[in-house]
Amino acid sequence: MDERNQKPLVDEVIQKEWKMFDKVNSLGGRASCQDNFPVFYVMRYSQFSVWDKDVLESYYADLLKAGSQGMNIIEQKYAYMMRETSPDYYEKYLREFLPGITEEKKCLAEQIMEIVMGFYSEAEKMYPGIAARGRGGSRRESISGETSVDVYQRGELLTYSSATLKLYYAMVKRKKDTGQNMVLDIYARTAECCGYDGLEAAEKAARKRKEFYQ
């Protein structure tokens, strides 16, 4: 993927997500991260800039469709996350207001999760300092208090259309089959955006600082 050629589309995706993120109503009131666009941009750019073009275009179409229907899929992502973090609240207050999850989407999401969590496990072993400053790996709270990677990732995947999920699965499967680790690619792009000269420098800094993004 040519990052330079895709940057305009990546930026469009991020802007549409930011508008939705800004309108998310959380139980504890407005979160501080909702007023920090620079960090939001780095986090999302680091992810989207390593995606295949067809996946990015499909997700952009998802955002456009959601917007035209008055839906906030970023808010839906956090609601889906609460299926695991607060199941009683989810069942009582959220489930009936969310789009139904088809068996096809569930299956695709879990196939993707199996590969992505494998990427994450490998990346965590190679760069534990960077990994420790982000979300915890599997169904646990990280030291930063963020929801675990698997809960967050699954919640996000469930907001994608079936078309996007199929393309996403094809992307991560190809990367796995060719020995690529998408999580390491995201780490590398994040390190670059934060001004570090490669992952080794970012790892060294992460072990010294409380937050990777300081």
Within the chain, which residues score under 50 in pLDDT? 139-144, 212-214
SS3 track for the chain: CCHHHHHHHHHHHHHHHHHHHHCCCCCCCCCHHHHCHHHHHHHHHHHHCCCCHHHHHHHHHHHHHHHHCCCCHHHHHHHHHHHHHCHHHHHHHHHHHCCCCCHHHHHHHHHHHHHHHHHHHHHHHHCHHHHHCCCCCCCCCCCCCCCCHHHHHHHHHCCCCHHHHHHHHHHHHHHHHCCCCHHHHHHHHHHHHCCCCCHHHHHHHHHHCCCCCC
pLDDT computed for residue 59 by the predictor: 98
Residue 93 has a pLDDT of: 92
pLDDT for position 213 = 44
pTM for the predicted model, two decimal places: 0.90
The confidence score (pLDDT) of residue 1 equals 52
* pLDDT tens-digit readout, 165-178: 999 999 999 999 99
Res 140: pLDDT: 46
Domain range summary for the chain, segments of one domain joined by +: 3-208
